[in-house]
A and B are shown apart, each in its own frame.
Chain A
């Protein structure tokens, strides 16, 4: 392990005091950065220096730091989560950078994701899409017996692939149209392929795509940037599946 080789990096970080503030880039120097640090750990150290200097630390979202919660949300050098295949910001390590590199750090940018502060955005619009139909209606009661409803293995695998979505919003951040179609399609596809979700499939796809529009997300034009941005590798085949489900729903 090369603990001795540390790096010095120039960071251009988007600073914005609040939703109404116009915001601007501030430049910071990150010194003694270890290649074994994660990107967020590097920012933690920059923040410690800022606090010691009596300045406001950079606000950014994070939680599990294991790549599964979907909280971290930074566009690094123009790519959501830094652009490494299937990697969230918290799992992006500083060994991906070289000594002397300049790094631009920006928040998710989309009309549906208003900036709260610095790199923190409000992703509540995704919750609204889920509330519009990303569930199955079920009367509560005793827990259903395991394997009472048999699901073919291929369908279960397909649903699990769609369920990998952690709702981080990178698909929106990466989309040139600010569309949340990949997110929506993952939820629609996951439920449409399972017997528990099929009963409401038609209502769900219409309600969720309507909510997507109402929340101010753009329309999908098949750039496929979403899949390239997704830290979980959600496939655009789910958008094709959503389109199929939508056309089926129109016939009902």
Chain B
């Protein structure tokens, strides 16, 4: 299969799996935002988990995407390192960005965060978790999240991870369009800006929750 071994083929697979994860991250942020509506996030979680095929379908697609994205990401990065082993005494990069140069590192940091995040709010195995029920007998997601994020260090780690996500997506979103060939010299700057704006919106959307909790605006 040329798609799995070639330079462009593997890049296309990384672009598609990356973009599936971006779509997930957008949906996840919209879901999280229900925390700002009284009782919203508990109702959202209740409805979501009443649909196991949807939840598990999502999880399987995400698991496959994460696996493919990381496998090819690491493989291509290692190849690139061999191809450009000797570096220059003086470096003068013009177009490469912090985001584009740190994709491997931000990617691996995000993997570590995803594992921690799943352990925390999905498996609920971290010591900060408060697992109770609300007045309507639903699992109290609101109390769990507000309690965890009231710890400054947990809020900080979460926000730091979102900054890493921003860096990764500031390159990743626009890169997807280039890799799929949906780009030319007129669309490139526009897509670049849209990618950065989308990454900023996601950063603000996610980081606002721990910020509102840790600052005491959103109380448990």
Contact = CB atoms under 8 A, between A and B. Distances in A.
B7 A220 contact: yes
A98 interface: no
A123 to B, nearest CB: 15
Contact of A222 (B7, B87, B92, B178): B178
Contacts of B20: none
B83 A112 contact: yes
B180 A111 contact: no
Interface in B49-104: 76, 79-80, 82-97, 100-101, 103
Contacts of B91: 78
A25 B216 CA distance: 59
Interface string B160-171: 000000000001
A250 B3 contact: yes
A87 interface: no
A111 B85 contact: yes
A160 to B, nearest CB: 15
B175 interface: yes
Q: Main SS of chain A's interface residues?
A: mixed
13 contacts: A25-B89, A110-B83, A111-B86, A112-B83, A209-B7, A209-B8, A228-B95, A237-B188, A243-B179, A246-B8, A246-B12, A247-B180, A250-B9
A227 interface: yes
A210 B84 contact: no
A212 B94 contact: no
A38 B188 CA distance: 34
Contacts of A235: 185
B11 to A, nearest CB: 6
Most A Cβ at <10 Å: residue of B6, B10, B91: B6
Contact of B10 (A12, A110, A219): A219
Contact of B184 (A83, A109, A240): A240
Interface string A219-252: 1111111011100000111011111111100100
Given A112-B83, A217-B83, A247-B12, A224 B96 contact: yes
A154 to B, nearest CB: 12
B30 to A, nearest CB: 28
B2 A206 contact: yes
A240 B84 contact: no
Which 10 residue pairs of A and B lie closest in terms of their CB atoms, listed nearest first?
A78-B92, A244-B181, A218-B83, A178-B84, A177-B80, A178-B83, A78-B90, A228-B94, A243-B181, A240-B183
Contacts of A223: 93, 95-97, 100-101
B154 to A, nearest CB: 33
Interface of A: 12, 25, 75, 77-79, 83, 104, 106, 109-112, 175-179, 181, 206, 209-210, 212-213, 216-225, 227-229, 235-237, 239-247, 250
Contact of A221 (B12, B80, B86): B80
A136 to B, nearest CB: 21
A219 B3 contact: no
Interface in B146-194: 171, 174-175, 177-185, 188
Nearest to B83: A218
A242 B195 CA distance: 22
B103 A221 contact: yes
A126 B3 CA distance: 23
A246 B178 CA distance: 13
Given A106-B88, A218-B79, A228-B95, A239 B180 contact: no
Nearest to B3: A250
Contacts of B88: 75, 78, 104, 106, 109
Contact of B92 (A83, A227, A243, A250): A83
